[in-house]
């Protein structure tokens, strides 16, 4: 009997506003408990909510980025339940009329085992604005509970998908694509450790083509790995339960990362009646077409549009295009480099995906912390294209510059100890930086054909026996001559030129 897993995700993305969704208190992470809890956050008697325009703008941005309908009028509703970290006794959310309606997200599911990579579109049901709750702290209070309301009132966009995913891999691909997108359009910092991007997964199983099974919701998954583990465990648990002849009951479950298991939090019978009703303290949210257009004008080119353009206009592979659009910073870096070396998209792509990524990984940095500027990389690439240095030489320049910039970042000094040359403070397009390193390291290629011919002539006369062997058909010896010539030129001979000359002289 085969089983099909059906998954829908609810993602809570914390919107990157400076202040809370209904008051002016700061949203900064990590402050001393309750130092960001003003009268509204504390729900003192008599306080009232006032909607943060920036939160609405971010919701509109998301709607536009997913091709969704932006509701001209949406309504804030109260979701009523008692909990100590929910100070008003209700959460202000949206219910019947969310700000963002039907949208969609195209995902790329990577190859795995025998399964080749494939593309898929996941439909987004809705996205709505709401406020976050505070935190209950159960440790260090001697059997009591501490309440920190710093987070209470932080703006969230809850993004609800249709049950369109059929494996944990698809769910992870969707979550990652969404994660990239919200950071790309600048509405969420995506920091999962700090809870800025959290997933709830609705999981059910069925026989392919059959009716949807009863779902269980896994709450608060804050890493892609946990998302995958939790779905796989939960789906297998449901399959085992059904195969044992038992039924699945609708429930909310929690994932325990230590045991790798999901466990029941509450059953459907224990579910709250939230008694939603429109919040009378807030007017309906009216979004004029003009506002939508203003927000649209601020929207950057989206990752998928960029990928299509890189493949179509720049003739890059789909893989390269995907890598270069993994983050907005990466794509911006690539495009800045490309602007300076416009004819060599593949060269730019190779360097960023290869050498630059490797260095970032080595030093545990992300793109935003990259020590060298796109202009500096472009300067290096220019010296490859004008044959001043070889690819190998360029790598040495790159690493020298990288280490110098990294050190300068640490010591905030523009003086780099010898033999590294001085790097200009701005990191701007200043060829002397790159040229100075080439000079200091003696990396300049010999492109003078006379000089290369002289080296080749010497090698040919000193290795007459090998030349004879080559000429009698032992082609493989060509590499041997290249090696000797390179060694003689101290690695500086222009490889293409060297090949030409060597070939001509050996054959002639």
Q: How many CB atoms lie within 10 A of CB 300?
A: 15
Give start and end residues of each alpha helix (H) in 357-463. 357-363, 374-385, 391-411, 431-441, 449-462
- Residue placing its CB nearer to another protein in the complex, 50 or 339: 50
Q: Which three-class secondary structure state does DSSP give residue 342?
A: coil
Measured from the CB of residue 322, what is the shortest distance to another protein in angstroms? 44
- Residue placing its CB nearer to another protein in the complex, 49 or 303: 49
Helices 464-471, 449-462: inter-axial angle, 10-degree rounding: 90
The DSSP annotation for 111-179 comes to: PBTTBPPEEEEEEEEEEEEEE---EEE-SSSTTS-EEE-SSTT-EEEEEEE-S-B-SHHHHHHHHHHHH
Measured from the CB of residue 408, what is the shortest distance to another protein in angstroms? 47
Among residues 369, 379, 376, which one has the least CA distance to residue 409?
369
Q: Are 196 and 190 in contact (CB under 8 A)?
A: yes
- Residue placing its CB nearer to another protein in the complex, 46 or 508: 46
Measured from the CB of residue 196, what is the shortest distance to another protein in angstroms? 26
**C-alpha dihedral (203, 205, 209, 212), degrees to nearest 10:** -60
Measured from the CB of residue 86, what is the shortest distance to another protein in angstroms? 9
Measured from the CB of residue 37, what is the shortest distance to another protein in angstroms? 9
Tell me how far apart the alpha carbons of residues 421 and 288 are, in angstroms, rounded to a whole number.
Answer: 57
- Residue placing its CB nearer to another protein in the complex, 7 or 147: 147
The binding site for another protein (CB under 8 A) comprises: 39, 42-51, 78, 80, 82, 84, 87-90, 145, 147, 273, 275-277, 280-283
- Residue placing its CB nearer to another protein in the complex, 284 or 409: 284
In the numeric block, which tokens belong to residue 269? 């019978």
Measured from the CB of residue 145, what is the shortest distance to another protein in angstroms? 8
- Residue placing its CB nearer to another protein in the complex, 44 or 468: 44
Tell me how far apart the alpha carbons of residues 232 and 412 are, in angstroms, rounded to a whole number.
Answer: 48
Peptide bond into 419 cis (omega under 30): yes
Measured from the CB of residue 262, what is the shortest distance to another protein in angstroms? 25
144 contacts: CB under 8 Å, gap ≥ 6: none
- Residue placing its CB nearer to another protein in the complex, 40 or 199: 40
Measured from the CB of residue 91, what is the shortest distance to another protein in angstroms? 11
- Residue placing its CB nearer to another protein in the complex, 84 or 312: 84
Measured from the CB of residue 212, what is the shortest distance to another protein in angstroms? 22
Measured from the CB of residue 47, what is the shortest distance to another protein in angstroms? 7
- Residue placing its CB nearer to another protein in the complex, 95 or 226: 95
In the numeric block, which tokens belong to residue 445? 């290629």
CA R_g for the chain:
30
In the numeric block, which tokens belong to residue 266? 């509450």
CA separation (Å) from 177 to 4, 122, 128, 324? 23, 11, 19, 14
Among residues 216, 223, 228, which one has the least CA distance to residue 254?
216
- Residue placing its CB nearer to another protein in the complex, 99 or 349: 99
Measured from the CB of residue 92, what is the shortest distance to another protein in angstroms? 11
Q: Which three-class secondary structure state does DSSP give residue 283?
A: coil
- Residue placing its CB nearer to another protein in the complex, 83 or 411: 83
Measured from the CB of residue 143, what is the shortest distance to another protein in angstroms? 11
- Residue placing its CB nearer to another protein in the complex, 85 or 435: 85
Among residues 148, 114, 110, which one has the least CA distance to residue 132?
148
28 contacts: CB under 8 Å, gap ≥ 6: 18, 36
């Amino acid at each position: 009997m085969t089983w099909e897993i059906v998954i829908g995700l609810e993602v809570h993305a914390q919107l990157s506003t400076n202040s809370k969704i209904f008051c002016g208190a700061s949203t900064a992470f990590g402050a001393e408990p309750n130092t960001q809890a003003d009268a509204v956050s504390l729900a003192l008697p008599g306080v009232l909510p006032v909607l943060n325009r920036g939160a609405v703008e971010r919701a509109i941005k998301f709607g536009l980025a997913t091709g969704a309908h932006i509701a001209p009028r949406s309504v804030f509703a109260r979701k009523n339940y008692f909990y100590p970290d929910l100070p008003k006794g209700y959460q202000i959310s949206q219910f019947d009329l969310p700000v963002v309606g039907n949208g969609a997200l195209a995902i790329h599911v990577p190859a795995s085992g025998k399964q080749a990579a494939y593309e898929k579109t996941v439909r987004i049901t809705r996205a709505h604005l709401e406020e976050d709750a505070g935190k209950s702290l159960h440790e260090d209070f001697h059997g009591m509970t501490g309440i920190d309301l710093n987070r209470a009132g932080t703006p969230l966009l809850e993004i609800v998908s249709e049950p369109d995913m059929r494996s944990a891999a698809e769910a992870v691909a969707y979550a990652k694509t969404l994660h990239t997108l919200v950071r790309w359009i600048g509405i969420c910092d995506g920091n999962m450790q700090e809870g800025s991007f959290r997933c709830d997964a609705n999981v059910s199983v069925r026989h392919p083509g059959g009716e949807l099974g009863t779902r269980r919701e896994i709450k608060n998954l804050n890493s892609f790995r946990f998302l995958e583990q939790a779905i796989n465990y939960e789906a297998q648990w449901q399959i085992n339960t059904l195969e044992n002849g038992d039924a699945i009951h609708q429930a909310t479950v929690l994932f325990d990362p230590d045991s790798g298991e999901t466990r029941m939090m509450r059953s459907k019978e224990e579910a709250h009646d939230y008694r939603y009703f429109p919040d009378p303290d807030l007017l309906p949210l009216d979004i004029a077409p003009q506002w939508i257009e203003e927000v649209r004008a601020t929207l950057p080119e989206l990752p998928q549009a960029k990928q299509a353009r890189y493949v179509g206009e720049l003739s890059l592979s789909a893989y390269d295009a995907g890598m270069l659009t993994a983050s907005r910073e990466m794509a911006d870096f690539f495009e800045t480099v490309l602007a300076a070396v416009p004819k060599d998209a593949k060269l730019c792509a190779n360097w960023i995906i290869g050498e630059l990524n490797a260095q970032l990984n080595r030093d545990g940095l992300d793109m935003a912390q990259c020590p060298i500027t796109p202009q500096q990389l472009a300067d290096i690439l220019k010296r490859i294209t004008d044959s001043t240095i070889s690819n190998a030489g360029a790598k040495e320049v790159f690493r020298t510059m990288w280490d110098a910039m990294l050190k300068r970042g640490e010591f905030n000094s523009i003086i780099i100890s010898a033999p590294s040359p001085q790097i200009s403070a701005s990191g701007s397009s200043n060829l002397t930086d790159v040229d100075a390193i080439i000079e200091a390291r003696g990396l300049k290629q010999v492109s003078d054909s006379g000089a290369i011919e002289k080296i080749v002539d010497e090698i040919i006369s000193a290795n007459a026996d090998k030349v004879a062997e080559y000429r009698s058909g032992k082609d493989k010896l060509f590499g041997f001559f290249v090696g000797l010539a390179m060694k003689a030129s101290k690695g500086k001979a222009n490889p293409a030129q060297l090949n030409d000359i060597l070939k001509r002289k050996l054959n002639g």
